[in-house]
A = this chain, B = another copy of it.
C-alpha cells in the first residue's frame, strides 16, 4: 500500500507540473473545474468524516479506499484558481488568493500532505485515523477561513 500512496502522489505530482493558464480555454472553465474537484473531494472526505466522528462504524477498507481517492483528487482543483476568478458570493475565492498566492499555494500543499497520511492512518486503526482526519480537516478549514467568502 505504501507503493500505492507513492503511485498516487506521482500521478498528482505530474498533474501539478502542467501550467494552469494553458489548461483552460476560458476562466469559467477553470471555475467549473475547481468546483468539480472540490465537490468530488468533499464527497469522499465526508465519508471519512462520518467514520472519524463515529456517525458510521469505522471500516478500514472503506476508509482506506476513500482516503486514497481524496489524496489523488487533492492536487487537482488548484489549477482552477486562475486570474480574474475571485468573487464576493458565499463559497467564492477572495482576491487574496492571488495577492497572497504563495501562502495560498502553501496552504494547498499542507492539505495535500495531510490527506496523503490518511490511508496509512486508516490501516493503523480508528484512533490513528481519527487523529489524522482531524489534522487534515484543519488544513481545509485554514484555507477556507482565509480565502473563501463565508
Contacts and interface: CB of A to CB of B under 8 A. Distances in A.
A76 B23 CA distance: 22
Given A7-B4, A36-B36, A15 B72 contact: no
A43 interface: yes
Contact of A4 (B11, B23, B29): B11
A149 interface: no
Interface in A39-86: 39-40, 43, 47, 61-62, 64-66, 68-69, 72, 76
A39 B61 CA distance: 27
Contact of A11 (B17, B18, B72): B72
A interface SS class? helix
A62 B4 contact: no
A44 to B, nearest CB: 8
Interface string A21-40: 00110000100110111011
The 9 closest A-B pairs by CB, nearest first: A14-B65, A7-B7, A36-B39, A36-B36, A11-B68, A4-B7, A36-B40, A33-B43, A72-B72
Given A23-B43, A36-B43, 11 more contacts: A3-B7, A4-B11, A8-B11, A11-B68, A11-B69, A15-B65, A24-B43, A33-B40, A33-B43, A36-B39, A37-B40
Interface of A: 3-4, 7-8, 10-11, 14-15, 17-18, 23-24, 29, 32-33, 35-37, 39-40, 43, 47, 61-62, 64-66, 68-69, 72, 76
